[in-house]
Amino acid sequence: MLEVTDLVAGYGRSAVLRGVSLRVPAGGLVGLLGPNGAGKTTLARAISGLLACRSGSVRFDGRPVHRLRAQEIVGLGLLHVPQGRLLFPEMTVQENLEMGAYRADSRAAVQQGFDRVHTLFPILAERRFQLAGALSGGQQQMLAIGRALMLRPRLLMLDEPSIGLAPLVIDEIFAVIRRINAEGTAILLAEQNARRVLALAGSSVILESGRVAAEGTGAQLLADDLVRETYLGLH
């Protein structure tokens, strides 16, 4: 479904990604691991069109999307929940969700989105008239994910959804990610929290200094001592 080939991208003159290839199959859940600065966020931004690709290609359903602008890529059903959530802090929870349905073609579609998000995250229904900036960190992450789910994306890219959250809240977020995936949405999950991702993902890719250092299923990666110790920090 998503096919990234030899992608090179970066900021200014320096390339952060130096030729990255990965695939996310339809309905799959792929983990994207690696230390800080490995290029996970840059990769997510290049795929969603926030950052221009220098060379290589990104295909979604076989269609090249690396020359499209971010707002056009969204329309294809490829949604990016960025690191740091990037909510609209002075808008209410409900208005943030409405923005997630900005490209909806009917009121019914917006209502369906609300129903779905409120089922996944009941707290967002309760807090709907609060400003997004006044929510707790966990609730903000839920809102960021919910906002991306409003129009039933076909592929959801999550960048560090567990960052700065308490373990119980992370459990809740990961349970929802599992559920969204089980309902048919493909997921690319960038995380530093390797253990949790490996338990959840069908396969994972480990980035290191802008290149793919290793890839495979959780079992394969964990069986490799070098990968365990060098890239995953597990013993």
Partner 1 sequence: MDVSTALQLLFSGLSIGAIYALVALALVIPFKASGVLNFGQGQMVTLGAYIALTLSQAGLPYYAVVPLTLLIAGLAGMAIERVFIRRLVRAPEFTIVIATFALGLMVQDAIRLHWQDNDFPLPVPFSTDPWRFGSVRVNPVFVWIVLATVVLVVVLAAFFRHSRAGKAMRAVSQNQEAARLMGISVEGVFSATWAIGTAIGALAGILFAPVTGINPGIGDLIIKAFVAAVIGGFSSLPGAVVGGLALGEIETFSGALAGSTLKNVSAFVVLILMLLVRPYGLFGTAGARRV
User: Which position among 52, 55, 67, 103 is part of the footprint of partner 1 (CB under 8 A)?
Assistant: 103
Work out whether 88 is an interface residue with partner 1 (CB under 8 A). yes
Residues 166-195 that bind partner 1 (CB under 8 A): none
Asked if 70 touches partner 1 (CB under 8 A), the answer is yes
Shortest distance, position 82 Cβ to partner 1, whole Å: 7
Q: Does 99 sit near partner 1 (CB under 8 A)?
A: yes
89 sits near partner 1 (criterion: CB under 8 A): yes
Site membership for partner 1, residue 86 (CB under 8 A): yes
Contacts 24+ apart (CB under 8 A), 133-142: 133/87, 133/89, 133/90, 135/93, 137/164, 137/165, 137/169, 138/165, 138/166, 138/169, 138/172, 138/173, 140/85, 140/87, 141/85, 141/165, 141/169, 141/173, 142/173, 142/176
The number of C-alpha atoms within 13 Å of 203 and in the hemisphere containing its C-beta is 11
The CB-of-105 to partner 1 minimum distance in angstroms stands at 12
Question: Which one among 79, 124, 149, 198 touches partner 1, defined by CB under 8 A?
Answer: 79
Residue closer to partner 1 (CB basis): 91 or 169: 91
CB nearer to partner 1: pick between 48 and 162: 48
Could you write out the DSSP letters of every residue in 168-222? HHHHHHHHHHHHHHHTT-EEEEE-S-HHHHHHH-SEEEEEETTEEEEEE-HHHHH
The residue ranges that bind partner 1 (CB under 8 A) are 48-50, 69-71, 74-75, 79-80, 82, 86-91, 95, 98-100, 102-103, 147-148
